[in-house]
Amino acid sequence: MVRRNSSLFLLLLSLLLIHRLSLFTSTPIPSHFEGFDDAASSSLDPEEEEDQNTPLSTTPPPSLTLSTTPDPTPTSNQPSPLDSSHPSDQSHEPSITDYWDEDEFEGLPVPQPPPENPTITENGTQSNPDETKRRSSTYDNVSTRSYTVEIVCGVFFIAFVVNYFIGKRENENIALAWVTKFAVRGSIFDKNFSLVGVGKDEDSPLLLKEGQNVFKFYASGRRFCQGLVATLELKRRHDLISRVFDAVVGRKDEVRIEVFMNDEAMDQVVFALAKRREVKRVQKEERDVQRFGSLMSSQPGSRKWVSEDLVVVLEVKEVAGDLITETVVEQVFGDKAFENYGKDFLSMHFSDQHVGMHKKMLVFKFSLPDANHMAEMSRLVALVPYYIDLIGRYKLSPQARSKTEVARQKAAQEAHKEFQNARQEVLQRKKVERRKVIEEAEAKLSVEAIRRKEAKEHARQMKRAMPKVKMTRTG
């Protein structure tokens, strides 16, 4: 049986070798095997010719199983595969499968189309190319949006840092421009004060920087006053958010000049002059104006008066005519002068009843122009030494003084009453708190401790109720 099988296997190899040699022969017959004429080959379609010229698949043949048929020779009644007279052979293209005996061998190769490689998703299901493309684009959009917050935060941080240095430099330039115009040697403050700047030395700085937007200037050494402090409150340009907010609100740079008058140099005066939009702020913030001042309804006599944009608040009417002189009306506060030189004026407030350590003060408040136009407020700054001398020499009339004294006595009584009421409220609050502490302590005591405490209190009460006996010594 083993010899028989080996002979069959050798026969099969011989046939395969003959077939492979016939493929490389140079005979003019286009067919692969003998027995096929030209007509059979010419009747093939172009597609079939292309299939003939295509080499066999390089896929290794499947494993073969030999049958146990005793006679390997085919019977006579089976049709020969090389019989050219069979009509079906004329249109059938010969292939390697025609030479396999279906009864002898199993596992014949069946031509199959190449398998497709479907796209497998994460869930293990197949997805078409359109769905994959759509998901890919969605993933790209999501990944782009995931960095949007980081990009915005990074841009904002860079803008904040750049704006910090730019705004800091702008504020310093404005402050230096103001002090260069009004505080250097030969300027208005240098001429009216013997000592200007922070220190006593000549080389001491003129400005004291208290913040990125706050600068202070000091001057002293003048009659009628102890000195002055000028505070430059600029916009917070170094802060990006505050810069945007100030631009929306329309806030301006301001300078506040406070003059501390001597006690004997200032009489009983409460006076304020401000723009109409600033009057409400002055009345709200300044307590002395609320208590003593009132709006001036009409101008005194037929003399020139201040612009219609200004409002006067005072205690005694005669003070208005004495403090608003013709000189300041012509130079600053008149209609034409105020239109040209008073656009940076906000308010000025003189009072001997200021709340704080210094009672007698003159307060001027101006807005600041840009660094290149500081000369526009020269006349406003000149009001400071002018009113120091004017208030220092000013004296009220006996009628006005008696009126102001009555008002101040009444204000002193009200202040004393308010102080007493506040003191009583504080004492009452402390008493309530002390009683609460005692009650909480009693709540924590035991029954025996409470009994002893009550007995002690009862003995104290009985002792107080007993009549007092005075004992005398008799001779």
Alpha-carbon span 303 to 332, nearest angstrom? 16
Write out the two tokens for 473. 């010594």
Contact partners, residue 329, CB within 8 Å, separation at least 6: 304, 305, 306, 337
Torsion angle, alpha carbons of 282, 227, 230, 198, to 10: -150
Q: What is the pLDDT of residue 217?
A: 94
pTM score, whole prediction: 0.61
Report domain extents, the chain. 2-53+62-72+83-99, 151-396, 403-460
Element (H, E) at 171: helix 148-182
Q: What is the pLDDT of residue 287?
A: 87
Give buried/exposed letters for 46-81 (b at 16+ CB in 10 A, else e). Answer: eeeeeeeeeeeeeeeeeeeeeeeeeeeeeeeeeeeb
Q: What is the pLDDT of residue 225?
A: 93
- In 183-308, alpha helices (H): 188-192, 240-249, 276-285, 287-292
Beta bridge partners of 363: 258, 349
Give pLDDT tens digits along the chain (475 positions): 544 555 666 777 777 777 666 665 544 444 444 444 444 444 444 444 444 444 444 444 444 444 444 444 444 444 444 344 444 444 455 555 555 555 555 555 555 655 555 454 444 445 556 666 666 666 556 555 678 888 999 999 999 999 999 999 999 999 999 999 999 888 999 999 999 988 777 777 889 999 899 999 999 999 999 999 999 999 999 999 999 998 898 889 999 999 999 988 898 899 999 998 888 888 888 888 888 888 887 777 677 888 888 999 988 888 888 899 999 999 999 888 998 888 899 999 999 888 888 889 999 999 999 989 999 999 999 999 999 999 999 998 888 888 888 888 888 888 888 889 999 999 999 999 988 888 887 777 777 777 787 888 888 888 777 776 666 666 5
- Cα distances (Å, whole numbers) of residue 45 to 50, 51, 89, 150: 9, 10, 15, 67
- Among 322, 324, 329, smallest CA distance to 307 is for 329
CB 247 within 8 A of CB 282: no
- Cα distances (Å, whole numbers) of residue 125 to 3, 118, 122, 129: 54, 9, 7, 13
Backbone angles phi, psi at 436, to 5 degrees: -65, -40
DSSP 123: T
Q: Estimate the crossing angle of helix 148-182 against helix 240-249, to 10 degrees.
A: 70
**End-to-end Cα spacing for the chain:** 170
